[in-house]
């Protein structure tokens, strides 16, 4: 949000060139994220931005990239690949329609947030063009110019949506009804699309631009279909009232409608945890992810965090581990919970509390270990990338007797499960080790290879042993290249001095 505008254009140009190299789910997530970021970037232009180049020239470039990204979303790679069956094509198209509905609503909703026009953004632009006092790169567009830009983006988005929903046929509806939604497993994909349609249609009533688009309104009505009107469904307050009176089947409906929850709903659920299934806790984590992506103040985010933690702490360690593992599978690459992660707190925890000593079975000691385990799992939930990375560095720099990963206890079991999780072609362990080699040149250090040998010798992470054996060859080659590069750099430096 606070990068110079011309730099944003350059970054988008580069990303578009290489986005085809990503797997479809990751590419789709990235495109939608970029679309949302571009939309919000333009919403701020009347408050100020940095640019060395002409601002309007950059704006037109970014609008062009905005359209290119949307065209990529509906390209054959994402929807109609010849390698997909007819049913799979309808599934991919349904996911695309749902995501378009969601992000259009999300973009439109951004417009009603109140930004103070007197707010000084200059101090937020930490990346600048140097300290040239004679050049002023800070620009503020007139509010009317920004409105015209946003209207243009709205037109592009609504045209895309219309083109995707106007030709949906009855066979697609059947496919969507028979497939579980990939985000909320309590409902079908069809129901998820209907709910997104409802949210957007309700928002249209507050938006002059959308209200004028009768064709869009009719298409949304067609997608919702001849079902019971959304307005006739119980409000959350009424639903909670019925559940409190003993109508426990209402809990299932309450869980389905997680996008409507507030702090009162979370408190209500916290008092009735015993009626929840383990899958319901998966939905609660999905709510946590969804809500943090939509809240804008630190206070609001921490209020939700505390309320969700109260619910999660009712779970046994095994169950908490299972739902966090599933969450990590879904959101490792787009985890907005990282905002709540405190790196210093985890470093302190790792240094003081994580080591599991020999202990007897006294209740106080068992409770202490249980508490440590829960804290570790919450840290992993908030930022699995950093936590798993730091645990590897910890293992590389301690004596074997102080190891966490190579033990036979609950801590080690949980941690090993996260490293065994598949990410694209490799396990999470291989993914992290590759990053360590490439970014920090750890392959040049002895303790890196001691750690690799431990994994192979202890065989505690059984299903990654073969992967490590194969990829070690690549690590060795990379080490030689890094070593040679380091040698050449040093030689050049000495020659230069002479």
> Distance between CA 344 and CA 342 in Å, rounded?
6
Angstrom distances, CA of residue 465 to CA of 235, 332, 428, 443, 456: 53, 23, 13, 18, 6
pLDDT for 115: 47
> Distance between CA 73 and CA 313 in Å, rounded?
40
Instruction: Please report, in angstroms and rounded to a whole number, the separation of the first and last CA atoms in the chain.
Output: 47
**The Cα angle at residue 257 between residues 253 and 258, in degrees rounded to 5:** 125
Evaluate whether 193 touches 98 at the Cβ level (below 8 Å): yes
Taking only the tens of pLDDT, the chain with its 498 residues reads 567 888 888 989 999 998 888 888 888 999 999 999 999 888 888 777 777 778 889 889 999 999 999 999 988 777 766 577 888 888 888 999 999 999 998 888 887 664 444 455 555 555 555 555 435 566 778 888 888 999 899 899 989 998 888 878 888 888 999 998 888 777 889 888 888 887 788 777 776 666 777 778 787 877 777 655 444 446 788 788 888 888 887 898 899 899 899 999 999 999 999 999 999 999 999 999 999 988 888 999 999 999 999 999 999 999 999 999 999 999 988 888 999 999 999 999 988 765 555 545 566 677 777 888 899 999 999 999 999 999 988 888 877 667 778 877 777 888 889 988 887 777 888 888 877 777 666 555 677 778 877 877 766 565 555 666 556 656 666 565 655 565 554 444 333 332
Selection from 197, 177, 196, 219 nearest residue 91 by Cα:
177
Strands (E), 20-119: 49-50
- Judged on CB neighbours under 10 Å (0-12, 13-18, 19+), 376 is buried
- Residue 150 gets the label, from left (phi > 0), alpha (psi -120 to 50) or beta, of alpha
- Residue 130 gets the label, from left (phi > 0), alpha (psi -120 to 50) or beta, of left
> Distance between CA 71 and CA 20 in Å, rounded?
13
Phi and psi at 295, nearest 5°, equal -85, 155
């Amino acid at each position: 949000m606070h990068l110079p505008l011309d730099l944003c254009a350059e970054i988008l140009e580069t990303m578009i060139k290489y986005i085809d190299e990503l797997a479809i789910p990751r590419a789709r997530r990235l495109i939608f994220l970029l679309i949302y970021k571009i939309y919000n970037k333009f919403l701020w232009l009347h408050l100020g931005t940095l640019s060395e180049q002409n601002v309007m020239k950059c704006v037109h470039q970014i609008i062009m990239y905005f359209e290119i990204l949307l065209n990529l979303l509906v390209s054959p790679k994402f929807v109609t690949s010849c390698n997909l069956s007819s049913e799979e094509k309808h599934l991919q198209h349904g996911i695309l329609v749902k995501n378009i509905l969601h992000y259009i609503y999300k973009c439109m909703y951004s417009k009603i947030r109140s930004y103070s026009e007197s707010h000084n953004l200059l101090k937020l632009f930490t990346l600048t063009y140097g300290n040239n006092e004679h050049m002023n790169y800070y620009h503020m567009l007139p509010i009317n110019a920004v409105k015209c830009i946003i209207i243009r983006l709205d037109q592009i988005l609504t045209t895309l949506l219309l083109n995707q929903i106007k030709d949906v046929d009855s066979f697609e509806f059947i496919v969507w009804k028979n497939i579980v939604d990939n985000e909320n497993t309590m409902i079908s994909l069809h129901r998820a699309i209907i709910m997104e349609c409802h949210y957007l249609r309700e928002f249209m009533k507050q938006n002059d631009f959308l209200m004028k688009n009768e064709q869009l309104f009719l298409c949304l009505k067609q997608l919702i279909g001849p079902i019971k009107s959304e307005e006739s469904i119980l409000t959350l307050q009424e639903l909670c009232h019925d559940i409190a009176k003993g109508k426990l089947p209402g809990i299932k409906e309450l869980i389905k409608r997680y996008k409507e929850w507030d702090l009162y709903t979370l408190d209500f659920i916290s008092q009735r945890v015993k009626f929840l299934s383990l899958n319901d806790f998966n939905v609660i984590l999905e709510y946590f992810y969804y809500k943090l992506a939509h809240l804008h103040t630190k206070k609001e985010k921490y209020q939700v965090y505390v309320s969700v933690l109260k619910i999660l702490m009712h779970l046994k360690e095994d169950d908490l581990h299972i739902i966090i593992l599933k969450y990590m599978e879904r959101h490792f690459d787009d985890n907005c919970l990282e905002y709540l992660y405190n790196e210093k707190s985890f470093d302190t925890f790792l240094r003081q509390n994580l080591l599991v000593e020999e202990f007897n079975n006294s209740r106080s000691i068992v409770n202490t270990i249980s508490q440590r385990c829960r804290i570790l799992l919450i840290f992993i939930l908030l930022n699995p990338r950093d936590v798993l990375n730091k645990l590897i560095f910890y293992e590389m720099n301690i004596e074997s007797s102080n190891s966490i990963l190579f033990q036979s206890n609950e801590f080690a079991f949980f941690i090993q499960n996260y490293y065994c999780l598949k990410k694209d072609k490799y396990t999470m362990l291989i993914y992290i080790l590759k990053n360590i080699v490439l970014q920090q040149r750890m392959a040049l250090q002895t303790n890196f290879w001691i750690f690799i040998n431990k994994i192979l010798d202890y065989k505690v992470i059984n299903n990654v042993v073969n992967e490590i054996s194969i990829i070690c060859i690549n690590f060795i080659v990379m080490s030689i290249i890094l070593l040679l590069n380091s040698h050449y750099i040093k030689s050049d430096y000495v020659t230069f001095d002479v």
